[in-house]
Structure 1
Amino acid sequence: MQTIFLDVTRLLIRLQGGLLPTGVDRVGLAYIARYGSLARAVFCQRGFFIVMSPQESAQTFSRLTSPTQSAWSLHALIVRACLRRLHGEKIKSGIFLHTSHSGMEFPGLYRAMSARRIKSVFMVHDLIPLTHAEYSRPGVDGIHRRRIHAAFKYADGLIANSRSTLASLEAEAQRAGLKLPPTVVAHLAPGVTPRPTAPRPLPTPYFVMLGTIEPRKNHWFILHVWRRLAEQLGAATPKLVVIGRRGWECENVVDMLERCECLKGVVIEEAHCSDEQLQAYLQHAQALLFPSFVEGYGMPLAEALALKVPVLASDLEVFHEIAEDIPDYLDPLDGPGWLARIKAYALADSRERSAQLGRIKCFREPTWAEHFEHVDSFLEALR
């Protein structure tokens, strides 16, 4: 196999900050697991990049994939790699794999790789800042447009996580009058390693909502549904477990979580949930709630269904691509519909929930083996 250069910038920075992995990070970790034994680690900042030595790469990959990973000196690592670079190591040919969006916007990175006969291949997770700028932080739409356009102009290949993402790429290329590089669609597998069934974390029925608290995930809507549930059901209200850290522009969600009396004792916020806790919560949930307005993929959907946990989800094209007709789909603004379906799924003898459990038996779980079959064939073709 040709030499693989794996970008680890985002993973290192988040580890240094003590942050738990998101879905994008779990993809990066899967790529380390697949290619790390033969790959070189790359750290990029504003188009400037450092290729770590084989020893530094092995140390970096080991720390990033350790179940007991802890923050360590990124500064010392970069200094050592910079000093070694001054001695003039010659890097020639290979494939540069970049699985996050960070730094895609700098043309100098592509040119530097091309000068060394290294082909640049980037994964695109979504174009949400372009198609739905209202759900992103101010200014992110411009940055993401520069990322995607730079990839159109300079990348040797793009990996799309879904047909839906590829369709967005094709539409943006046509809109901008730019040529789309060679592409491949490779679905993502669940990011959490399956574990034996854990003890039930809560004695009463509960639902789980998983993901960073941000506007497009629709937490505010679900919290209002739960307020109505509490008003109607009182002590019989099922619990809602919100798993994920607080993100951006979510002040109204925070107000509900911290100041709404109806939700106290009913909604449980888990901002720092380990993989073990996450799976325990999912395994015993009445359902995963996924009411997003837009998604590029939706890894929690695959994770829940792989654990045989029902899902109530927004009626999004990409969710149908992953799960076909298995979940119960609702409009993300249909308050009465979500209220009725949650009440139905909370019942011990729920016919609706039992029906979905029957459909889940037909779920074809995406696997990393299949993902990398597509990616390896794509990389071989690019060579």
Structure 2
Amino acid sequence: MPGDGTKLATTTHNRPNARLLDLTRLVRRAGRVLTGVDRVELAYLRALQDAPEPLYGLIRSRLGYILLDPNGIASVTHILSGPDGTPPDQQNKVAWRLARRNAIGRVPPFGLPRMLRRHLPVGTSYLNTGHSNLTERVLRTLKAAGIPIAIFVHDVIPIEFPQYQREGTVGPFTAMIARVGTYADTVIYNSEDTKRRTEALFPGRVPAPIVAHLGTDFVAARFDELPDGLPPAPPYFVVIGTIEPRKNHAFLLDLWDAMGADAPTLVIAGSRGWKNDDVFARLDALPPDGGGIREVSGLSDGALSALVDGSAGVLLPTHAEGFGMPAVEAALRGVPVVVNTLEVFGEMLGDIPIYASVSDRYLWISTINTLADAGPRTPKHPQFEPPSWDVHFKTVLRLT
């Protein structure tokens, strides 16, 4: 059934004496709105802090590497967890300052092996959940030190869909996946779909896999945190995610053009991304009142939940996903969700979403009109058992 998709690798494992979590991504992105990958890394940080094994943190800085012990990690956790009262434009500086001040080791690149030997307990294992700092130097050093390496692969979309990526990112990402195949002892996947796609790209050896669906938390709606003018009058629909080509906002703009003045309101909830100048131009050309389309970014989790709760549905015509968290979260809230016909949505949600291929615009328009006529419904928990972080970590931490 949807939600029970945690599968174990057929391997044995002795619990480590300590864990080393790579925090490079979270520190670099401190002060920004958390992305899906950021949220996973933060969930790992919190779970590992609560685990019985001591937790150390590795950060790649501009000048080399920083190592934190459990006390050092505790000193930076609050600034990595999102807004904490520190002005957003200062959070990144504060995060780096705290990391440097509380480090047990700070070395230039060539000093990494010595720092790890000096400070890490024998029997430490390494976890990287952020697609960051997976360099030849780091992985080779860990392997030479006999430290087991577990790496979380969220997706391989940059390789499969290079046309949607930022310039200059596909080559480095492809090389990173090759290094994962070469050095990782274990690879953690968020879905069977991601596992299948990733393993097909490994150049030779295939590391031991763990498939563990991501946990899903129910976030209380905070209507008081919505900006003025939101939510709009019903019926309205929401599309969630960075405005970049893969998310296929252009498709929805085309639908709204086709539906004309009688179309319900569309709320685009996400920051502007890359390689999407045509979409940005279309959004910029909207009339002052939005013409039935609203664009908003930087919403808190509670505000976004409130926006979703009042909607007639969440629309996700995305071309590719590694997990599809917005669809899972909408299903958890009992809100209708219309998705493109991707295998990962079927793996996560079964028959809960309304599936509509983006090749069938008529089906999308008729579905939107039907949901709009039904109007907003009182959010309720459907017959859906979402993945839980508890199950995720019981699986992963037993095997890494």
TM range (shorter): 0.7 to 0.9
Choose the corresponding residue for 1:291, options 317, 338, 347. Answer: 317
Q: Is the 8 A contact 2:55 2:69 kept in 1?
A: no
**Partner of 2:11 in structure 1?**
none
What are the residue-to-residue correspondences of 1:41-60 with 2, within 5 Å? Answer: 41-45=57-61, 48-60=64-76
Corresponding position: 1:224 with 2:254: yes
Match of 2:33 in 1: 20
Larger mean CA deviation between 32-41 and 125-134 belongs to 32-41
**Match of 2:81?**
65
With a CA cutoff of 8 Å and minimum separation of 6, indicate the structure with the bigger relative contact order: 2
SS at match of 2:127: strand
Which position in structure 1 is the counterpart of 2:227? none
Task: Give the match's secondary structure for 2:167.
Answer: coil
Alignment partner, residue 219 of structure 2: 194
- In structure 2, how many angstroms separate the alpha carbons of the residues matched to 1:195 and 1:122? 32
- In the alignment, the residues of structure 2 paired with residue 136 and residue 69 of structure 1 have an alpha-carbon distance, to the nearest angstrom, of 34
Secondary structure in structure 1 of the residue aligned to 2:266:
strand
Report what 1:76 is aligned to: 97
Any idea what the Cα deviations from partners look like across 1:101-144, whole Å, max 9, x if unmatched? 1222x111012223443222110011111111111122322111
Instruction: Tell me whether 1:34 sits opposite 2:50 in the alignment.
Output: no
* Other-structure match for 1:7: 22
Give 1:196 shift: 5.3
TM-score when normalising by structure 1: 0.87
Give, in angstroms, the shift of residue 82 of structure 1. 6.6
Tell me what 2:301 maps to. Answer: 275
Contact kept, 8 Å, 1:161 with 1:296, in 2: the verdict is yes
What is the identity, as a one-letter code, of the residue corresponding to 2:331? L
Asked if 1:316 corresponds to 2:330, the answer is no
Question: 1:150 aligns to what SS in structure 2?
Answer: helix
Larger CA deviation: 58-67 vs 149-158: 58-67
Matches within 5 A, 1:161-200: 161-173=190-202, 176=203, 178-190=204-216, 193-195=218-220, 198=223
What's the offset of the Cα at 1:306?
0.8
What displacement does 1:238 show? 1.4
318-327 or 50-59, which deviates more: 50-59
RMSD: 2.6
> Paired residues, what number?
363
Call closer, same or farther: CA 1:57–1:82 in 2, change over 3 Å.
closer
1:30: how far off?
Answer: 0.8
Query: What is the rounded CA distance, in whole Å, between the counterparts of 1:213 and 1:81 in structure 2?
Result: 37
**Alignment counterpart, residue 141 of structure 2, candidates 112, 117, 121:** 112
Q: Displacement of 1:83 after TM fit? A: 7.7
Counterparts of 1:217-366 in structure 2 under 5 Å? Answer: 217-231=247-261, 233=262, 237-261=263-287, 264-348=290-374, 361-366=382-387
The more displaced of 203-212 and 85-94 is 85-94
Paired with 2:32 and 2:81, the residues of 1 have a C-alpha distance of: 14
Amino acid aligned to 2:146: R
Identity of aligned residues (%): 33
| Superposed CA offset, 1:176-210 (max 9, x none) | 3x1111110011123x5521575783332111100
Cα deviation 1:34-65 (Å, max 9, x = unaligned): 11244222202589532113322111123222
Residues 272, 365 of structure 1: alpha-carbon distance in 2 compared, 3 angstrom cutoff: same
**Bigger CA drift: 18-27 or 314-323?**
18-27
Q: Is the 8 A contact 1:47 1:103 kept in 2?
A: no
**Which residue does the alignment assign to 1:213?**
243
Q: Give the letter aligned to residue 250 of structure 2.
A: W
Question: Does 1:374 pair with 2:395?
Answer: yes
CA contact (8 A) 1:11 1:64 kept: yes
Structure 1 pair 163–46 and aligned structure 2 pair: CA distance change class (3 A): farther
Contact kept? 1:197, 1:283, Cα under 8 Å:
no
Q: Tell me if structure 2 keeps the 8 A contact 1:152–1:179.
A: yes
Secondary structure class of the residue paired with 1:6:
strand
Give the deviation of 1:310 after TM superposition: 0.9
| Equivalent position amino acid for 1:188 in 2 | L
